[in-house]
Amino acid sequence: MNWNNPLAKRVLDLKPSPTLAVDAKAKALKAKGEDIVNLSAGEPDFDTPDHIKEAAISAIRDGFTKYTAVAGIVELREAIGKKLKRDYKIEYSIDEIVVSTGGKQGLFNCLQAIVDPGTEVIIPVPYWVSYPAMVELSGGKPVYLKTTQENGFAIDISKLESLITKKTRAIILNSPSNPTGAVYNEETLKGVAELAINKGFYIITDDIYDEIRFDGRSPENVLSFVPEAKEHVIIANGVSKTYSMTGWRIGYLAGPQPVIKAATKIQSQSTSNPNSIAQKAALAALTGPQDCVKEMVAAFKERRKFIVERLNAIDGIRCNMPEGAFYCFPNMSSFYGKSFNGKKIEGSLELADYLLEEAKIACVPGIAFGDDEFIRFSYATDIKVIEKGLDRLESALSRLE
Ligand code: PMP
Ligand code: GLU
């Protein structure tokens, strides 16, 4: 081997998750005593509800601390099946469900299971930061489908059709979206499903924010409108966001049995079962009282209104009203080309750096999501903190010349 080149090719171009990197930087500065307003993390600020914690404590006391089935305990897969039936009106047996160490590992396993080197996965832009890296790690090629702020970041079906080739294996949908908060409508989902059925590819629907919607409607995905597409659809979801359980690391996939079997096989050779105690906690989350979800969603809704109204009141910012999740994605491009102390703001990276250094606000540059015109702010934090951040933002932007 060439000792001067000790790492595998696949990691040489791999960048660490930018969302986790900004959050880690903000937390490190805070630990050093800096007064940082952290609007970067995609993580609810609420504590995990008590009844969920109690289930985990009981699991430890009862000695539920050994390996479980690789795909997760039967009761949890049954509870996931019930949730999918309740929300999407589709039946999934326990053999069509695998529980993983977070939604992220579920998505990773899913791509490893269906993507061959040289095949293509269509990713609407803006996208969640990890999709392109996961596709590339599976040997596939991300194919980008641009959407626009003016059209509410909706998918243009004829544009999608023009990107489909013989190599297309899948499209990844994320609705409500991280980072835009946009929700796909029935017409879009029917259009994507029709193409998937006619041309033969998978729809991976990342529903991790499905219960964090502000229109009062219950969760919807492509199967709510086209149940006959079931064999083409792989659902990725988890408990991190809905139940404020980011650290517990429980997510899941539901889909055609061969895909689930393959993802489980990959899991059996990599991480084995997800944490047994966290599985019991996730079971309590899915089967216990759901008032905690309603309360958190109501708080996000109030914060959303506050942050978006304040952002749009600043000259030069244009921000759509998010329909779900807990992010807003304002267009900041009118500030590009301006300078501070002779340093030019060329794009979202420089703007995010400027805001961190001069205003002590942590946020994620739009380029991390594939669109440099924007910045992502998370409003999964206390309204007082958001207010302080916006005061600082307004003042910092007014100092650019
Ligand atoms: N998908 C999206 C769009 C996300 O924002 C996240 C948050 N990290 C995930 C999947 C995975 O979440 P987790 O691994 O915490 O379940
Ligand atoms: N999904 C969250 C975010 O986008 C958490 C960070 C991550 O997993 O990348 O901020």
Ligand 1 close to Cβ of residue 274 (< 6 A): no
The CA 339 to ligand 2 mean position distance, Å, reads 30
Atom of ligand 2 nearest to the CA of 128: 4
Nearest residue to 206 via CA among 221, 216, 218, 193:
221
**Nearest ligand, CA 133:** 2
Task: Report the interhelical angle of 74-88 vs 276-287 (nearest 10°).
Answer: 30
Ligand 2 close to Cβ of residue 129 (< 6 A): yes
- pLDDT of res. 236: 98
- pLDDT of res. 13: 85
The CA 158 to ligand 2 mean position distance, Å, reads 30
- Cis link prior to 126 (omega < 30° from 0)? yes
Q: Give me the DSSP letters along 60-92.
A: HHTT--S---TT--HHHHHHHHHHHHHHH----
Nearest residue to 260 via CA among 99, 52, 80:
99
Residues 253, 170: contact at Cβ < 8 Å?
Answer: no
Amino acid at 195: L
Find where tokens 């596709």 sit. 135
Residues 249, 101: contact at Cβ < 8 Å?
Answer: yes
Instruction: Report the chain's terminal Cα–Cα distance, integer Å.
Output: 54
- The domains found in the chain, sorted by start residue, are 9-47+292-398 (3.90.1150.10), 65-287 (3.40.640.10)
Atom of ligand 2 nearest to the CA of 364: 10
- pLDDT of res. 347: 95
Residues 243, 56: contact at Cβ < 8 Å?
Answer: no
d(CA 281, CA 277): 6
Residues 16, 368: contact at Cβ < 8 Å?
Answer: no
Atom of ligand 1 nearest to the CA of 103: 16
Per-residue pLDDT of the chain (401 residues; tens, 9 = 90+): 678 888 998 898 898 888 888 888 888 998 999 999 999 988 999 999 999 999 999 999 999 999 999 999 999 999 999 999 999 999 999 999 999 999 999 999 999 999 999 999 999 999 999 999 999 999 999 999 999 999 999 999 999 999 999 999 999 999 999 999 999 999 999 999 999 999 999 999 999 999 999 988 889 999 999 999 999 999 999 999 999 999 999 999 999 999 999 999 999 999 999 999 999 999 999 999 999 999 999 999 999 999 999 999 999 999 999 999 999 999 999 999 999 999 999 999 999 999 999 999 999 999 999 999 999 999 999 999 999 999 999 999 999 99
Residues 6+ apart with CB under 8 A from 362: 22, 23, 25, 26, 29, 36, 37, 38, 39, 40, 355, 356
Two tokens at 334? 């009118």
Ligand 1 pocket test, pick from 208, 209, 376 with the greatest ligand atom count within 8 Å of Cβ, gives 208
